[in-house]
């Protein structure tokens, strides 16, 4: 039997980002993007079932898992950390994937978050999107921006999350955190309700569907500062995804709406690094008049060029970010190429070998 608390503690000590419990392999940590099996016997179906059941603290969560075949929720270990848990069935047995959210928060400079990203905390209205694949650090970046608002402004912040990842204490701001499935039924319902709770800042854990995206745009349009995430890479693809989720007869209206409320799109990837374990690369698009025109006119492919010319405003392309990390010796040339958006652009910035 695996002691779940001991395993969760050990993951924090070893600076693991994820824990995997599945039949046929030992408990496995993900450290700096690599799978590290623990010195433990291979797990059988009884082991994984017992471990999964020990994580369910609420009867209703277990019932939902039995009904649906998967369930995600968060757990806390006092003084150690918080964990985002997904329990699911695979090949007739229980499996668990756990994201580790340590209580010990690094400073933004240690996380290498650019100042132009952190500066979004100074905005008072509009929509800011943090995008990237699962496990690329989107939640961490957002938590740092919320921290800065909380420490510098007197306002009401509402976060809608599934599940709650980082806990925010009231500081200069009041921070109310609502968990989807526990405190409210869905993102769209929580967002409608949030509009009646006098918020200044709204964080939406993820814009998953048409209804949530429409509500987020309306919230940003009516003078709120809205943060959210999407599983897209690059500003152009992010804008296309938002527009494409609406019916064709509404898409021009959405382009106009988006061109008005969008403040910026940040895309991030975590790249393997021999020096630092993993290091983030960022594309940063700030919505200036030129980019707003491109969005409104549906000329989204031209946004990449506008980002290139906006470097003096704090914008940067993913390929420039990757090239700088490579030129400074943080990442390998092969990894820069693998994570590149445009190899021609990347090669222009890379130093000669």
The pTM of the full predicted model, rounded to 2 decimals, is: 0.89
Give backbone dihedrals phi and psi of 313, rounded to 5 degrees, phi first.
-90, 0
Question: Given pLDDT bands bounded at 50, 70 and 90, which one contains residue 181?
Answer: confident
The pLDDT tens digits for 99-151 are 998 665 667 777 899 999 999 999 999 999 999 998 899 999 999 999 999 99
Please, which pLDDT band fits residue 267 given cuts at 50, 70 and 90? very high
pLDDT in the model for residue 80: 85
What is the DSSP code string of 127-178? EEEEE-STTSSHHHHHHHHHHHHHHH---EEEEEESS--S----SSSEEEEE
Q: Name residue 53's beta-bridge partners.
A: none
pLDDT at 61 over 90: no
Which is more confidently placed, 352 or 133? 133
Count of C-beta atoms within a 10 Å radius of residue 41: 10
Is the per-residue pLDDT at 250 higher than 90? Answer: yes
**Tally of CA atoms within 13 A in the half-sphere of 203 that contains its CB:** 32
DSSP-derived secondary structure letter, 122: G
Band (pLDDT 50/70/90 cuts) for residue 208 is confident
Alpha helices in the chain (DSSP H): 4-13, 45-55, 59-68, 108-111, 115-118, 138-152, 187-194, 210-221, 235-244, 251-261, 289-296, 303-309, 318-327, 333-338, 343-349
Tokens of residue 279, six digits: 């290091």
In the prediction, which pLDDT does 74 show? 86
- Model pLDDT for residues 281-335, shown as the tens digit of each residue: 999 999 999 999 999 999 999 999 999 999 999 999 999 999 999 999 999 999 9
Name the average pLDDT for the chain: 93
Q: Which two tokens stand for residue 116?
A: 């132009």
- Rounded CA-CA distance 301/250 in Å is 20
pLDDT at 105: 63
Helices and strands: H and E segment counts in the chain: 15, 13
Q: Which three-class secondary structure state does DSSP give residue 38? A: coil
What pLDDT score was predicted for residue 43?
Answer: 96
pLDDT value of position 106: 66
Q: Is 351 helix (H, G, I), strand (E, B) or coil?
A: coil
Confidence band of 44 (pLDDT split at 50, 70, 90): very high
Q: Give the separation between CA 142 and CA 205, rounded to whole angstroms.
A: 9
Structure tokens given for 6: 């001991």
Collapse the DSSP code of 330 into the 3-class scheme (helix H, G, I; strand E, B; otherwise coil) and give the result: coil
For range 335-339, the mean pLDDT: 97
Taking 3-state DSSP, the helix, strand and coil percentages for the chain, each rounded to the nearest 5, stand at 40, 25, 30
Query: Could you tell me what percent of the chain has a pLDDT over 70?
Result: 98
Per-residue pLDDT at 102: 64
């Amino acid at each position: 039997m695996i002691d779940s608390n001991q395993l969760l503690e050990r993951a924090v000590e070893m600076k693991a980002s994820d824990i995997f419990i599945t039949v046929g392999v030992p408990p496995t940590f993900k450290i700096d993007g690599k799978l590290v099996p623990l010195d433990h016997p291979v797990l059988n179906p009884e082991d994984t079932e017992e471990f999964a059941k020990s994580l369910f603290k609420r009867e209703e969560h277990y019932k939902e898992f039995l009904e649906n075949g998967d369930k995600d929720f968060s757990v806390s270990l006092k003084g150690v950390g918080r964990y985002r848990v997904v329990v699911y069935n695979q090949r007739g047995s229980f499996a668990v994937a756990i994201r580790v959210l340590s209580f010990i928060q690094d400073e933004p400079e240690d996380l290498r978050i650019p100042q132009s990203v952190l500066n979004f905390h100074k905005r008072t209205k509009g929509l800011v999107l943090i995008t990237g694949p699962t496990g690329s650090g989107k939640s961490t970046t957002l938590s740092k921006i919320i921290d800065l608002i909380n420490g510098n402004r007197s306002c009401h912040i509402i976060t809608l999350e599934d599940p709650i990842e980082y806990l925010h204490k009231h500081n200069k701001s009041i921070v109310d955190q609502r968990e989807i499935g526990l405190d409210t039924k869905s993102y769209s319902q929580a967002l409608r309700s949030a509009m009646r709770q006098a918020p200044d800042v709204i964080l939406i854990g993820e814009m998953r569907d048409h209804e949530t995206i429409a509500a987020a745009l309306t919230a940003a349009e009516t003078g709120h500062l809205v943060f959210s995430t999407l599983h897209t890479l690059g500003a152009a693809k992010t804008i296309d995804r938002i527009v494409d989720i609406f019916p064709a007869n509404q898409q021009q209206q959405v382009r106009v709406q988006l061109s008005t409320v969008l403040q910026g799109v940040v895309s991030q990837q975590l790249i393997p690094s021999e020096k630092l374990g993993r290091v983030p690369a960022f594309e940063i698009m700030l919505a200036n008049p030129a980019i707003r025109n491109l969005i409104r006119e549906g000329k989204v492919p031209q946004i990449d060029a506008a980002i290139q010319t906006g470097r003096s405003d704090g914008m940067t392309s993913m390929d420039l970010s990757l090239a700088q990390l490579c030129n400074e010796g943080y990442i390998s040339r092969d990894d820069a190429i693998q994570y590149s958006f445009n190899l021609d652009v990347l090669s222009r910035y890379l130093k000669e070998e």
